């Protein structure tokens, strides 16, 4: 194989440039002149910085013509090898209505595209004409409630109500508020709560969850259930909760039941965010390891496209910090705000 040595293959930022160029073409086709221009400037800056591999936020923001949003996108590309926004845009360039429909609880991208293709323009259209599941119907009914950000203090209050109810069921079961709340956000999209108990498996905890949900419905704190999924690594429950008062908005609340042995890996996963999790998983795979919701595994064999060929042996699942540090040993710029 002859090495052609083109400029782009020598530039350490060629992958970043390639993805940004695709994104720019989409903005250009949307006649978004302002974004097209700022992408063009950033790309040419990257093309001329031949010897510096730009991989941190600080390096990116220091480049002429690169602002906060673009710097974050560059870090996302470098750490996850993809750009979420681009993948979204590729599905449908005219994505305003698509976004609206994808924002309905329980509606995925495939179904949202079907609604667009059917000619629906508003939530009313979908409600009237589409065949919906019960959770999706609630998702439309409560669309604006669920879209509102939840102030941090209110998330804390929901967490308190859950924790108090839990104590009356089993003193030893613990609840922790996770997701954006644990990352310190001043407002959150939903309320994420882990339920766990030292030395206890999923079966027993599943019963606790059932009792908890029943009790919280009786208290008129839970307003509806939306989904439940049982796995051997834990059970997920989705629903909505509301503080006392008719006029209070419904909030999306997620419970994740986790066996005591896997609490560390579950904490890492449920703290997120999702982009951070993908970065950590990719990094683990590059080190011959594997990271998921249940643990960190070593000696994982992979094929040439990183597909997994053996499960590997469990390295850590109980201690969050150990999982984190082992994975990111050499990559100190990764931080989810907890370490």
User: What residue ranges bind Mg ion (CB under 5 A)?
Assistant: 179, 190, 192
* Residue 77: closest CA among 43, 119, 107, 117: 43
Q: Which residues pair with 239 in a beta bridge?
A: 225, 253
- How many Å apart are CA 136 and CA 130, to the nearest integer? 10
- How many Å apart are CA 273 and CA 157, to the nearest integer? 22
The one of Mg ion, ligand DCP, Mn ion, none whose footprint includes residue 272, by CB under 5 to 8 A per kind, is ligand DCP
- Sole residue written with tokens 């949900």: 213
- Binding residues for ligand DCP (CB under 6 A): 179-180, 188-190, 192, 269-270, 272-274, 277
Helix (H) or strand (E) holding 94: none
Give the nearer residue to ligand DCP in terms of CB position, either 91 or 118. 91
Give the nearer residue to Mg ion in terms of CB position, either 76 or 190. 190
Q: Which residue is nearest to Mn ion (CB)?
A: 254
> Which of helix, strand or coil describes residue 290?
strand
Instruction: Provide the minimum distance between the beta carbon of 337 and ligand DCP in the complex, in angstroms, as a whole number.
Output: 11
How long, in residues, is the chain?
A: 339
Instruction: Provide the minimum distance between the beta carbon of 180 and ligand DCP in the complex, in angstroms, as a whole number.
Output: 3
Task: Decide if 90 contacts 113 (C-beta within 8 A).
Answer: no
* Residue 325: closest CA among 303, 282, 296: 296
Asked if 73 is an active-site residue, the reply is yes
Q: Cβ–Cβ contacts within 10 Å for residue 242, how many?
A: 19
Instruction: Provide the minimum distance between the beta carbon of 216 and Mn ion in the complex, in angstroms, as a whole number.
Output: 17
Torsions phi, psi for 166 (to 5 deg): -65, -40
CA torsion through residues 180, 87, 113, 111, sign: negative
**Applying CB under 5 A, which of residues 76, 95, 192, 320 lies at the interface with Mn ion?**
192
Instruction: Provide the minimum distance between the beta carbon of 21 and Mg ion in the complex, in angstroms, as a whole number.
Output: 33
- How many Å apart are CA 165 and CA 198, to the nearest integer? 19
Instruction: Provide the minimum distance between the beta carbon of 269 and Mn ion in the complex, in angstroms, as a whole number.
Output: 12
Give the nearer residue to Mg ion in terms of CB position, either 55 or 266. 266
The one of Mn ion, Mg ion, ligand DCP, none whose footprint includes residue 273, by CB under 5 to 8 A per kind, is ligand DCP
Helix (H) or strand (E) holding 215: helix 202-218
Give the nearer residue to Mg ion in terms of CB position, either 74 or 256. 256
Instruction: Provide the minimum distance between the beta carbon of 182 and ligand DCP in the complex, in angstroms, as a whole number.
Output: 8
Give the nearer residue to ligand DCP in terms of CB position, either 60 or 194. 194
Q: Which residue is nearest to ligand DCP (CB)?
A: 272
The one of Mn ion, ligand DCP, Mg ion, none whose footprint includes residue 270, by CB under 5 to 8 A per kind, is ligand DCP
Residue 254 as a binder of Mn ion (CB under 5 A): the answer is yes
Residue in 73, 147, 211, 321 annotated catalytic:
73
Give the nearer residue to Mg ion in terms of CB position, either 331 or 338. 338
DSSP string, 185-199: -SEESSEEEEEEETT
- How many Å apart are CA 319 and CA 326, to the nearest integer? 11
Q: Which parts of this chain interact with Mn ion (CB under 5 A)?
A: 190, 192, 254
As annotated, the active-site residues are 73
């Amino acid at each position: 194989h002859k090495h052609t040595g083109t400029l782009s293959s020598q530039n350490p930022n060629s992958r970043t440039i390639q993805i940004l160029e695709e994104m720019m073409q989409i903005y250009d086709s949307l006649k978004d002149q302002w974004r097209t221009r700022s992408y063009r400037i950033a790309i040419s800056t990257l093309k001329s910085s031949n010897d510096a591999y730009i991989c941190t936020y600080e390096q990116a923001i220091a480049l002429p013509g690169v602002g906060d949003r673009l710097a974050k996108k560059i870090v996302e590309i470098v750490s996850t090898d993809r750009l979420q926004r681009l993948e979204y845009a590729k599905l449908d360039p005219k994505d305003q209505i698509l976004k609206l429909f994808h924002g309905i609880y329980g509606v995925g991208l495939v179904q949202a595209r079907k609604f667009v293709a059917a000619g629906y323009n508003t939530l009313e259209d979908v409600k009237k004409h589409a065949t919906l599941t019960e959770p999706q119907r609630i998702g439309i009914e409560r669309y604006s409630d669920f879209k509102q950000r939840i102030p941090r203090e209110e998330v804390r209050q929901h967490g308190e109500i859950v924790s108090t109810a839990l104590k009356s069921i089993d003193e030893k079961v613990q609840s922790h508020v996770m997701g954006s709340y644990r990352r310190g956000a001043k407002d959150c999209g939903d309320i994420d709560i882990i339920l766990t108990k030292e030395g206890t498996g999923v079966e027993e905890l599943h019963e606790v969850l059932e009792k908890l949900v029943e009790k919280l419905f009786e208290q008129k704190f839970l307003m509806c259930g939306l989904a439940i999924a049982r796995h051997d690594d834990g059970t997920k429950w989705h629903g909505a909760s509301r503080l006392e008062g008719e006029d209070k908005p419904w909030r999306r609340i997620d419970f994740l039941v986790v066996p005591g042995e896997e609490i560390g890996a579950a904490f890492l996963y449920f703290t997120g965010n999702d982009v951070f999790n993908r970065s950590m998983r990719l990094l683990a795979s590059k080190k011959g390891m594997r990271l998921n919701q249940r643990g960190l595994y070593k000696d994982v064999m992979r094929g040439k496209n990183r597909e997994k060929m053996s499960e590997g042996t469990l390295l850590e699942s109980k201690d969050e910090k150990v999982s984190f540090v082992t994975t990111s040993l050499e990559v100190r710029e990764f931080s989810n705000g907890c370490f």
